[in-house]
Amino acid sequence: MPHSRNPGDPVYQAFRRSEKLREMLEMKKQQAQAELNRIVEFIESVDDPEMQNILTARFVEGKTYEKIGKTMFMDRRTVKRKIDKLLQTTNNF
C-alpha cells in the first residue's frame, strides 16, 4: 500500500493503475474460463470419440493439425477437414 492517498502522489497513481490492471486481468481470466467451459461442453456433446479427441487436442490443448495428425495417424489435412465438416454442420458453436 502506498504511503499517501493523495491522488497527485505518483506512487499512489501507480498503485491505482496496478489495481485497475489486476481487476481487468481477473475479468479477462473469468471470461476465458467461461469460454473454455463452453468449448468443453460442445466437445462433450459430440457423439464420436475420435472427433472429441481431435477437438480437445485442437481447441483445448492448442495442438496444430500436423501434431494431431501424427498422434492419430492421419494426415493434417484430414484433421482439418474433419473439424471443418463438423463445425459446418453444427449451428450452436
**In the 8-state DSSP scheme, what is residue 7?**
T
User: What pLDDT digit, counting tens, does each position of 42-68 carry?
Assistant: 999 999 999 999 999 999 999 999 999
pLDDT computed for residue 9 by the predictor: 86
pLDDT computed for residue 92 by the predictor: 56
User: What pLDDT digit, counting tens, does each position of 2-45 carry?
Assistant: 455 676 788 889 999 999 999 999 999 999 999 999 999 999 99
pTM of the full structure: 0.76
Angle between helices 65-72 and 76-89 (to 10 degrees): 110
Contacts of 25 (CB under 8 A, 6+ apart): none
